[in-house]
Structure 1
Amino acid sequence: MKDEILEELEERLKKTLLAFKKDLSKVRTGLASPSLFEDVKVNYYNQMMPVNQVASINVVDPRTITIQPWDASLVPEIEKAIQKSDLGVNPISDGRMLRIVFPKLTEERRKELLRLTGKMLENAKVAMRNIRRESVERLRELEKAKQISKDDLFRREGEVQKLLDRYIDLCEKAHKEKEKEILTP
């Protein structure tokens, strides 16, 4: 039971870290990244499909991406979907493929993005602390039920805290990398 609690804790912390990294990857930094288009969906045979499942997305240079649908009739549909998205870019179509040039970020926009990623980091930390709190409560319930000793409880609480600290450090490292990306012109 006690090991299950630690395993479940690590699993939930891992999921929170992955969700945080995924959210970070969606923050546009002025650099072209195919992951920015993961949430852009197009109507393909009456089904909403992510762009990356109906087209190849290629990074041409640090600020340019090309999107080449496998079915050329999708070009206008993809173009509309990108324009409706909150990416703030305007695709250029040649009929067969789309070219997207990402504008350089203004200083004001960089500061905005730093605030946004800071909030994302804080939300991830809060979620992780809540997960820790739940795990510690479960351990205390085991101690009250006399299934583990007080010494065992304190040792396990220490393990829980070490695990939390490790995952928070991983979140902070991911945030620092994103911060560097945002600040790089």
Structure 2
Amino acid sequence: MISDVLTDTREKMQKAVEVAKDDFSTVRTGRANPAMFQKIPVDYYGTPTPLEQLAGLQNPEARTIVITPYDKSALKEIERAIVAFPNLGASPTNDGNIVRVTMPELTEERRKEYVKLARAKGEDARVVIRNLRRKAKDDLDALKSEVGDDEVARAEKELESITKTHVDAIDEALKRKEAELLEV
């Protein structure tokens, strides 16, 4: 029972770390990256649909993304969604077949804004990890009557170790992202 709680918590924390890393990839660096555009919601026939499901994304140059929609009727909506997406600062152009997005050069002020955004995403991920730890601790406390205080105490120490490992993984990913953002 205790091992089930710890295994389940470990898996959920690992998924939270992966989501955090995925979130970090959406924060812009000096280069244009297709991952920044994948999650942009496009209004496709009245349904918000991630851009990655509507189009192919290529990166032919350092500051350019070429978006080739699978359905040409979605071109205008894709262009509108990119312009409306916050913290992107991109300028899309539509030639009737593709949308070409050119990213502006990053100023030092803009880089600092992106660092703040990345830190906020990192803190959100740490909050998720702490919430998972709290739930696991509650689950372990509920098992005290069945397995005993000593077993639960050992499990709680292991839970703290698991939590620290995952929080450190988020901090390391954040540190790499900050270095990437501040690199000129």
TM-score by length of 1: 0.87
Q: Deviations over 1:109-149 (max 9, x none)?
A: 11122122222222322321232122223223322x1x223
Deviation at 1:99, TM superposition (A): 1.4
- In the alignment, which residue of structure 1 is the partner of 2:38? 38
Give the aligned length: 183
Are the aligned partners of 2:79 and 2:99 in contact in 1 as well (CA < 8 Å)? yes
CA contact (8 A) 1:30 1:103 kept: no
Aligned counterparts of 1:17 and 1:129: Cα–Cα separation in 2: 12
Aligned-pair identity in percent equals: 37
Correspondences of 1:24-173 after superposition (within 5 Å): 24-45=24-45, 47-86=47-86, 87-143=88-144, 145=145, 147-173=146-172
TM-score (norm 2): 0.87
Change (3 A) 1:179 1:53: same
Match of 2:56, SS? strand
Residue pair 2:39, 2:52 contacting (<8 A) in 1 also: no
Unaligned runs of 5+ in 1: none
- The answer for unaligned runs of 5 or more in structure 2 is none
Partner amino acid for 2:148?
S
1:42-89 deviations in whole A, cap 9, x for unaligned?
344554433222221101122111112233343333222212222221
Computing the radius of gyration from Cα coordinates, the structure with the larger value is 1
Shift of 1:163: 0.8
Root mean square deviation, CA, Å = 2.0
